[in-house]
Structure 1
Amino acid sequence: MLRTIWIASLYVRAFMRRFMPTNIALDKLRTRSGLKWGVPAMLLSVAYFYLATLMSVLIDDGASKWLYVVMLVCIWNAFKFLVFGPVSLVQLMRVRAAERRARRTVDRREPQCAAA
């Protein structure tokens, strides 16, 4: 039974990483060129929180209770983008520090040429 649940969760995770728009966006933001967009991407959490409140209002006005699932997904996505902003800053600092160290190492290895 545990094995079946484990395998099902692996398939669900693979599906979500491949086809869900927020996961695709976060994968693009995790690249070296995308890390600088981490903080502006936090603004997407505002839109997701707004959608969650809109779903809450619709449910209170008599819409289907299935909108709770949509509301939960919106809140989850909002928190993903909200957390990714500071995480991307830390990752960007680490990447830039590693690039700086690599540049210094290359500069030290190159022999100094005398100007003619």
Structure 2
Amino acid sequence: MFGLILDVTARIHYALRGLMPTNVLLDALHTRRGLKWGVPAMLLAVPYALAAVFCTSQVEAGGSGWFNLLALIFAWNALKFLVAGPLTLMRLLWVLGREANARRRAARALLGEGFGPELVEEPVLTSRRA
């Protein structure tokens, strides 16, 4: 029974994940091309925080209780973007480091095969048997 509930919950979660705009944007930020946009995307937390404050003030002024739910959603989205900025920056630095190491390893491999240093700038994938 517990497995069935867990399975249904997971399926609903992944079905709705593609429909939520903030999750779609955060998924795009975590790609290799999107990592550079993580820190500027932190600025999206500002409108979400302002919307949360507005909804909270509406509730305090005697508005509908549904504004509490909206305030919670807006605050959650603001926190997601605030956390995504530093995470994508750290991940970008890690990826750039791995790419630099791969370039260095490729250059060492070319030098080790007897190619001259002038070919290290642009690695050529040719066979020596020809």
TM-superposed deviation, 1:29: 0.5
- State the identity as a percent: 41
Higher Cα radius of gyration: 2
Q: Distance in 2 between matches of 1:54 and 1:5?
A: 37
TM-superposed deviation, 1:84: 0.7
Q: 1:38 touches 1:86 (CA, 8 Å); kept in 2?
A: yes
Q: Which runs of 5+ in 1 are unaligned?
A: none
The answer to whether 1:59 aligns with 2:59 is yes
TM-superposed deviation, 1:36: 0.8
Aligned to 2:11: 11
Q: Deviations over 1:3-59 (max 9, x none)?
A: 344234313321332100000000110011111111111111111110000101111
Q: 1:45 touches 1:79 (CA, 8 Å); kept in 2?
A: yes
Using structure 2 for the length normalisation, give the TM-score: 0.80
Q: Distance in 1 between matches of 2:84 and 2:76?
A: 12
Q: Distance in 1 between matches of 2:3 and 2:71?
A: 30
Residue range with higher mean Cα deviation, 7-16 or 50-59: 7-16
Q: Distance in 1 between matches of 2:117 and 2:25?
A: 50
Counterpart residue type for residue 96 of structure 1: L
For 2:115, which of 103, 112, 115 is the aligned residue? 112
Q: Distance in 2 between matches of 1:36 and 1:25?
A: 13
Aligned to 1:42: 42
Q: Number of residues paired by the alignment?
A: 115
Please, what is the CA RMSD of the aligned residues? Answer: 1.7
TM-superposed deviation, 1:114: 7.8
Q: Which runs of 5+ in 2 are unaligned?
A: 119-130
Q: Distance in 2 between matches of 1:13 and 1:7?
A: 10
